[in-house]
C-alpha cells in the first residue's frame, strides 16, 4: 500500500462499542475520502478486469470493498485508497525482487493488507506459491473479494505480529526476500530496532529486505499523542545508523541502499493528502544481508 501517512490510528483490540464509534467517527473526519477512483492505477484496473469485473463496474466495486476494509480498521491508507496504486513496482529494487522470486526465492511480506503488491508480483510472473502474506490484522478475505482470484492466487496468509518474538517462528532463517512497507514508521526508534531484530531472525545470508515508509529531511521523533510514545521519522542517514546497530546486536552485516523522494518528486499535490506531515518524504530502502 502506497502511503506516507501521518499516523495510523491504533484501536484497542476489543474496544467498547461506544469507544469504537467515537474512534471511527474521528478517523472518518481525518482519513476518509469519499471518491477514491483517481487512485486506481492501470495495473490495479487491469487485475480487476482480468478477473471478471466489468470495466463499468470497477469504480463501484472498489468503493464497496474499501468500505468493508474500513469497517475492520479505519487506516488512512484505506480511507484514501492508497493501496490502489501499488508501491512495490515503483521501487528501484523491483526488478531484482521479481527476478529472484521467479528463480525460486521465498518472499514474505509484512503488512500485506489486501495483497496488492503480491498480486502485482504474481501478475508479472512470480510464482504465487513462493509468496507468503502476513499482517497484524486479517484483511486477506477482503482481498479475495476485491480481486476475485481465490482459485488462481494460492498465496498463504498468516496473521502475525512482527513485535512478538514467536509470531513468525516457523519462517526463521528461511526467507530470501522480505517486503516491508508502511510499517516501521508507526513505532518509536526502540520499537523499530526490535522489529528489525525479528526480521533478522527470518533472514539468511543474501536475504533482501525491500520497502518504503514515511521519511523526512532530518530524523526526529514525532509526538502524535502526548499519551502515547512518539514515532521515529528517519532520514537516509539515520536509517543506515539503525541498521548498523541492528547488525551489531544480531552479529550480522547488512548492505543498505536508500532513496528519499519529496512529494513533488512523487508527483503528489499536498492538497490531495491533507493528513501528511509537513516536509513528509517517501523513504525507499533495500537492505541486503551480507553475512
70 and 113 part of one domain: no
Q: Return phi, psi of residue 188, to 5°.
A: -75, 180
Residue 111 maps to which CATH number? 3.40.50.150
Report which of residues 165 and 197 the model is more confident about.
197
pLDDT for residue 90 is more than 70: yes
Q: Is 85 helix (H, G, I), strand (E, B) or coil?
A: coil
90 and 152 part of one domain: yes
pLDDT for residue 9 is more than 80: no
Q: Considering the chain, what is the average pLDDT of its residues?
A: 88
Structural domain tally of the chain?
2
217 and 139 part of one domain: yes
Task: Yes or no: say if 186 and 117 are a contact pair by the CB < 8 Å rule.
Answer: no
* Strand-strand pairing, 208-215 and 220-222: unpaired
- The edge-to-edge listing of strands for the beta sheet with 156-159 is 156-159, 131-135, 107-110, 177-180, 208-215, 281-289, 254-262
Per the domain annotation, does 38 fall within a domain?
Answer: yes
212 and 135 part of one domain: yes
Report which of residues 216 and 224 the model is more confident about.
216
98's grid cell: 521479481
From 33, 62, 79, the end of a domain falls on 79
- For the ranges 5-19, 165-179, 252-266, 276-290, the one whose mean pLDDT is highest: 165-179
From 37, 54, 79, the end of a domain falls on 79
Q: How far apart are CA 209 and CA 109, in angstroms?
A: 10
Task: Yes or no: say if 281 and 215 are a contact pair by the CB < 8 Å rule.
Answer: yes
Per the domain annotation, does 7 fall within a domain?
Answer: no
Lowest pLDDT segment from 140-149, 174-183, 215-224 = 215-224
Per the domain annotation, does 233 fall within a domain?
Answer: yes
Per the domain annotation, does 4 fall within a domain?
Answer: no
Question: What region, left, alpha or beta, does residue 71 occupy, with left being phi > 0 and alpha being psi -120 to 50 degrees?
Answer: alpha
Task: Yes or no: say if 136 and 161 are a contact pair by the CB < 8 Å rule.
Answer: yes
256's grid cell: 543498505
What was the pLDDT predicted at 177? Answer: 99
Per the domain annotation, does 6 fall within a domain?
Answer: no
180 and 68 part of one domain: no
pLDDT for residue 188 is more than 70: yes
173's grid cell: 532463517
Report which of residues 219 and 168 the model is more confident about.
168
What was the pLDDT predicted at 214? Answer: 86
173 and 280 part of one domain: yes
Per the domain annotation, does 3 fall within a domain?
Answer: no
48 and 110 part of one domain: no
131 and 235 part of one domain: yes
Lowest pLDDT segment from 4-18, 49-63, 164-178 = 4-18
Per the domain annotation, does 48 fall within a domain?
Answer: yes
123 and 224 part of one domain: yes
91 and 207 part of one domain: yes
Report which of residues 270 and 139 the model is more confident about.
139
Closest CA to 80 of 147, 8, 31, 29: 31
Task: Yes or no: say if 181 and 212 are a contact pair by the CB < 8 Å rule.
Answer: yes
Q: How far apart are CA 32 and CA 187, in angstroms?
A: 23
Give per-residue burial for 106-140: e unless 16+ CB within 10 Å, then b: bbbbbbbbbbbbbbbbbbbebbbebbbbbbbeebb
Q: How far apart are CA 10 and CA 222, in angstroms?
A: 16
Work out the average pLDDT over 207-221. 90
CB-based burial label for 251 (10 Å; 0-12, 13-18, 19+): exposed
Domain that holds residue 227: 86-289
What was the pLDDT predicted at 222? Answer: 81
Work out the average pLDDT over 252-275. 84
From 32, 60, 79, the end of a domain falls on 79
pLDDT for residue 6 is more than 50: no
In the block, cell 488462481 appears at 152
pLDDT digits over 264-287, tens only?
Answer: 788 777 777 766 767 788 899 999
Amino acid at each position: 500500500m502506497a502511503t506516507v501517512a501521518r499516523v495510523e490510528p491504533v484501536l484497542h483490540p476489543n474496544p467498547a462499542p461506544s469507544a469504537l464509534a467515537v474512534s471511527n467517527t474521528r478517523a472518518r473526519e481525518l482519513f476518509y475520502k469519499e471518491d477514491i477512483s483517481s487512485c486506481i492505477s492501470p495495473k490495479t484496473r487491469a487485475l480487476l478486469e482480468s478477473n471478471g469485473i466489468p470495466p463499468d463496474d470497477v469504480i463501484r466495486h472498489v468503493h464497496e470493498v474499501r468500505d468493508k476494509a474500513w469497517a475492520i480498521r479505519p487506516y488512512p491508507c484505506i480511507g484514501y485508497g492508497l493501496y490502489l496504486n501499488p508501491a512495490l513496482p515503483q521501487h528501484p529494487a523491483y526488478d531484482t525482487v521479481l527476478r529472484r522470486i521467479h528463480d525460486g526465492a521465498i518472499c514474505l511480506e509484512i503488512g500485506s493488507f489486501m495483497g496488492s503488491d503480491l498480486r502485482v508480483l504474481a501478475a508479472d510472473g512470480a510464482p504465487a506459491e513462493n509468496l507468503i502474506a502476513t499482517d497484524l490484522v486479517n484483511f486477506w478475505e477482503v482481498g479475495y473479494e476485491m480481486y476475485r482470484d481465490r482459485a488462481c492466487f494460492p498465496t498463504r496468509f498468516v496473521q502475525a505480529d512482527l513485535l512478538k518474538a514467536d509470531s513468525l517462528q516457523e519462517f526463521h532463517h528461511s526467507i530470501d526476500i522480505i517486503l516491508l512497507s508502511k510499517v516501521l514508521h508507526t513505532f518509536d526508534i526502540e520499537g523499530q530496532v526490535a522489529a528489525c531484530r525479528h526480521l533478522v531472525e527470518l533472514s539468511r545470508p543474501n536475504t533482501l529486505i525491500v520497502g518504503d515508509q514515511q521519511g523526512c529531511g532530518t530524523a526526529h521523533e514525532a509526538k502524535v499523542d502526548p499519551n502515547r510514545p512518539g514515532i521515529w521519522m528517519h532520514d537516509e542517514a539515520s536509517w543506515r545508523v539503525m541498521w548498523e546497530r541492528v547488525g551489531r546486536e544480531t552479529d550480522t552485516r547488512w548492505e543498505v541502499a536508500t532513496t528519499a523522494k519529496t512529494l513533488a518528486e512523487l508527483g503528489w499535490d499536498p492538497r490531495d493528502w491533507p493528513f501528511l506531515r509537513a516536509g513528509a518524504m517517501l523513504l525507499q530502502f533495500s537492505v541486503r544481508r551480507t553475512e
